[in-house]
Amino acid sequence: MITGKYPNLRLRRSRKNSWSRRLLAENNLSASDFILPIFLMEGKNKIQPIKSMPNVNRYSINKLGIILDRAIKNKIPMVALFPYTSTKLKDSLGSEALNENNLVCRAIRYIKDRYKDKIGIMCDVALDPYTVHGHDGILRSGYVLNDETIEILINQSLLQAQMGCDVLAPSDMMDGRIGRIRKALDKENLKNVQLLSYAVKYASNFYGPFRDAVGSKIALKGDKKTYQMDFRNIDEAIREVALDVKEGADMVMVKPGLPYIDIIRLIKNKFKVPVFAYQVSGEYSMISNAINKKIIGKEAIYENLMSFKRAGANAIISYYADRLNEILPW
């Protein structure tokens, strides 16, 4: 409750000087709030721009040092790995996800061998980069099978954890997968591997550039509305988070970010668990293209990122994370 009244109380007094505004800021951003997504590709000595995502590239494994060195120098705590899988390696079951020499597994080993624990590694647990149909699981008659998909996701999770992944992030939205994965990890004495559940993942129109980046956009048949959430729903988000936390999720994700600020705040207030926001590819590309066309200024990036923090997000996955020194007013 505000006490006092004008003219004795003048709220503009504290806004007059920069030092005062900084001193009294209710929320702040630092490098520790960010996770940097990295797209992987086969080959050597390759850095390939992604046309639909300005200033974002795919990296061959031997070129990862360029972006990892920058992330570590800027004190980013964790990177998230996403593979661009060749069509010749895809099948209906996403079998390449279980290959110990796939792109993600080789990248994990490279990072751990070179950087040890200087930076955390988050790995996506889902089959869409590996399936010919672009869906996150086993597709039968146009429907993704839940329980059969979970069996593959368990094995994918165990493989990534055994390779050295620190945080497994199931993004598939299958019912019950968090509990099954947690149980399998504990059984294999991988109790310290963390689970970041994409608990609230909406069937969104903002994922297009990401699907370009991992090569699943052309392959995708139909949509993902039978397993990703309906963007009209709020209560369903609460139920999803409640289930995943009960099953053993250490952290939960809300994806996309900006259109779902209300959900981030709701989940944080209700569950008091670590909540992550994903500023997804469509959000990133819209802002970047608007800046490049001088429709808005680059200061809009900071304003946008601060909205996640203000809503209660503990961390933000953002493609801007490797350029924070150009964005944040240190």
Q: Which residues are catalytic?
A: 201, 255
Identify which of 156, 151, 165 has the alpha carbon closest to the alpha carbon of residue 194: 165
Q: Which amino acid is at 203?
A: A
DSSP letter, residue 234? S
> Residue written as tokens 């061998």?
113
Give CA angle at 131 (128, 135), nearest 5°. 45
Element (H, E) at 253: strand 251-255
Which residues lie across from 40 on neighbouring strands? 59, 83
> Residue written as tokens 């994918």?
156
CA dist., res. 69 & res. 322, Å (int): 10
Omega before 256 within 30 of 0, i.e. cis: yes
Q: Are 277 and 256 in contact (CB under 8 A)?
A: no
Q: What is the largest CA-CA distance in the chain?
A: 72
